[in-house]
Structure 1
Amino acid sequence: MIREVMGSLPKERTLFWYFKDRYAPYLLQKELEERGPRTVGELKRCRFAKLLQKTVCKPLVSQAGNRPVMANEFAAIWPEVSKPYVLTVDKWGGLTDFHWNQTSVPGWNLVLQMNFSNEHDHEYRCLFGKDFDHFEFYSHPVHRGKRNTLAWARIDLDFNEGVALIEEIQTDWIREARDAFKDATEARKAKKNTFKLWSDELDVGRMCTYYERVLTSHTEQWAEAMLTAAVSFIRDELGFKTIFYHSYETGKSLKHIGRRGPPRSLYTELPKKFCFEETDQGPQFVVTHKEVRRMWKKLKYKKWFVLNL
């Protein structure tokens, strides 16, 4: 089924623009599309009330007064400063080696890749050359073509029930670039002009310029941007209204992740920011699977996040 989904999606590149806190007007827009126009007072009593406090939403909130707010008014919020990304899709997993693939159950995940735009890639190549590729790993679900993948979301789909599970949000690029920047900073303190990265000697000044000037805006927003892209893709492109997201402990167990887990904030703070609600009822296509049922009683922590749009 994943192949059919991939085949039905646009073949040309899909631009995705992100500005700080874009998820806030997006989720409020979806709330109004589902339930109809509401006054600000009524929105303050809904599940997305805290999003009204985001700076990006305040002008509309203050101007609305007591009149009903329309969904398209939140959709029209668009600050001057935003970043373009290019979205691509792929698949990940298989019926065997699902422990290694870190899927909750055997099968295929749909991968939504958020790639850098030409704006970033031009500056990146000017600093490091066109063949430099030390910030991503091809054993992970990154784009196999010319695109440089900032981050990706792995998504499992239940087409019978219209339910999605976001298995992971991850970036190699930010982590590897941050580690390289730390090494460059140490070399700069030691008054060295170069530092070692894998088998290459890199220029300290170029690495610091890249991280401090080119990459900074992406490091601050990559997780929010990736989850916004994933949620909007699931809801608007696939038409699924129920979206599950792993909690830290349950996700580690079901995906057979060892002691060194992912950043905890991605599975605690991030979903709460998007108003996902905690639940002990997981997606049925996962919790009823025989592989999960075998280990279910051994799990000490059984929590998920869920968002219904």
Structure 2
Amino acid sequence: MKQKELDEILDCLGDERRVFYYLKDRYCLDMINWYMENNKRQSLQVRELNKPPLQRFSTKPIVKNITKRCGNGMLTKDDVSLYWNEGTLAFTLTLDRWGEGDRDYDQTSRNQQNLVLQINFDNKHNQEYHRLLKPSDNYGPFEFRGHPIRRGYRKTLSWVRIDADLSTGEALIEEVQNDWLRDVNRDLEHVNKHLSKENTAKPGDVINGIHCEYGDIKEYAEVILKPYKTLWAELSLAAAIRFIRNELGISIIYYHTFDTGRKIKKIYDLPPKSMYTSLPKQFGFEVTNESPMFLQRDKQSKRYLQAIKTPQWYCINV
């Protein structure tokens, strides 16, 4: 993003504390709700969910659970926007910036900075983390300060890097990423290997900064973090789309395809392919050969695009 626009966004929105609630497939309700808003409707006939563009969401259990209660065959905005389930997870969302304007190092599509949406664990998780692992300070063993994470007591589950241009009304999701869960799994494997050789070892002998027993880290990794492991990517993208639409006021959202993304951002270590294939498709993003206008207008980015044979993107209009 242009630094002036990014500064203005952070000045206006950066200090605001956002609470974000999520459960599996909650994004489907957002999509249905926004469809009603865009068409200036307060309700839909349930059978309309079986037609484009909503049919991809109608088969999800969360949607079926709501529609089966619609005795009159009508689904209202309140039905989808106020839905609550006891399995709902809570997070806090914070904003930051990423990059120094060096595309090669920053892995950005332009030689500009990105806006970062950080998805942070709630206090319930943090209390369990401190109770079980007893970290020695606020900088935990599953955090890497070379990435755009929140510092201090709040712990970042994941983050989404966003490029946007308010003049063209477009946003580009550059990256959906996670350190915490991956590092916990990796470190637990290291502890298991160490214990197989020396059964009196403590987890803290392998993982710097924690003071716990083996059963504690095993409970943390396999019980406390279990709800997040299969949902983190989905909930991160859902949070980003909601933020871009509702707070930035942008409805045209692009997302990198695997090949174009790694080429334009110069990524040499291949990222997980599912993050750039099945994840955007799940939300209804469609492939397009039309590049974001703000990249076409940027001289350097335009040159990068011309060097890529048939660049492709995912795009959705919410």
TM-score grouping bracket, smaller chain normalisation: over 0.9
Q: Which residue of 2 aligns with 1:59?
A: 65
Alpha-carbon distance in structure 2 between the residues aligned to 1:197 and 1:251: 36
Q: Which residue of 1 aligns with 2:142?
A: 135
Q: Which residue of 2 aligns with 1:98?
A: 103
Report if the CA contact (8 A) 1:99-1:256 is conserved.
yes
Residue 208 (structure 1) shift: 1.2
Deviations 1:226-280 (A, max 9, x none): 111100001111111111111111111111111x222111111111111111111
Residue 175 (structure 1) shift: 1.2
Residue 80 (structure 1) shift: 1.4
- Aligned counterparts, 1:1-309, within 5 A: 1-9=5-13, 11-35=15-39, 36=41, 37-64=43-70, 67-95=73-101, 97-130=102-135, 131=137, 133-187=140-194, 192=199, 193-194=201-202, 197=206, 203-258=213-268, 260-300=269-309, 302-309=311-318
Alpha-carbon distance in structure 1 between the residues aligned to 2:38 and 2:208: 54
Residue 72 (structure 1) shift: 2.3
Report if the CA contact (8 A) 1:40-1:61 is conserved.
yes
Alpha-carbon distance in structure 2 between the residues aligned to 1:185 and 1:307: 44
Report if the CA contact (8 A) 1:188-1:204 is conserved.
no
Report if the CA contact (8 A) 2:161-2:176 is conserved.
yes
Alpha-carbon distance in structure 1 between the residues aligned to 2:310 and 2:220: 41
Identical pairs, percent? 36
DSSP-derived class of the 2:119 partner: strand
Alpha-carbon distance in structure 2 between the residues aligned to 1:67 and 1:214: 39
Paired residue type of 2:240: A
Deviations 1:106-153 (A, max 9, x none): 112110001111111111112222426111111111112321111000
Q: 1:51 to 1:177 in 2, by over 3 A?
A: same
Alpha-carbon distance in structure 1 between the residues aligned to 2:65 and 2:22: 19
Answer with 185-194 or 70-79: which moved more.
185-194
Paired residue type of 1:14: R
Residue 190 (structure 1) shift: 5.3
Paired residue type of 1:290: K
With the length of structure 1 as denominator, give the TM-score of the two structures: 0.92
Paired residue type of 1:38: L
Answer with 85-94 or 123-132: which moved more.
123-132
Report if the CA contact (8 A) 2:16-2:94 is conserved.
no
Q: How many residues align?
A: 307
Report if the CA contact (8 A) 1:17-1:82 is conserved.
yes
Alpha-carbon distance in structure 2 between the residues aligned to 1:242 and 1:142: 26
DSSP-derived class of the 2:58 partner: helix
Answer with 58-67 or 125-134: which moved more.
58-67
Paired residue type of 1:163: E
Deviations 1:161-198 (A, max 9, x none): 11111110000111111111222333455572435536
Which segments of 5 or more consecutive residues in structure 1 lack a partner in the other structure? none
Alpha-carbon distance in structure 2 between the residues aligned to 1:254 and 1:17: 33
Paired residue type of 1:289: D
Residue 98 (structure 1) shift: 2.0
Q: 1:248 to 1:194 in 2, by over 3 A?
A: same
Alpha-carbon distance in structure 2 between the residues aligned to 1:18 and 1:253: 33
User: Runs of 4+ in structure 1 displaced over 6 angstroms?
Assistant: none
Which segments of 5 or more consecutive residues in structure 2 lack a partner in the other structure? none
Report if the CA contact (8 A) 1:56-1:79 is conserved.
no
Alpha-carbon distance in structure 1 between the residues aligned to 2:49 and 2:209: 55
Residue 200 (structure 1) shift: 6.5
With the length of structure 2 as denominator, give the TM-score of the two structures: 0.90
Paired residue type of 1:173: W
Alpha-carbon distance in structure 2 between the residues aligned to 1:211 and 1:134: 13
Q: 1:191 to 1:23 in 2, by over 3 A?
A: farther
Report if the CA contact (8 A) 2:21-2:89 is conserved.
yes
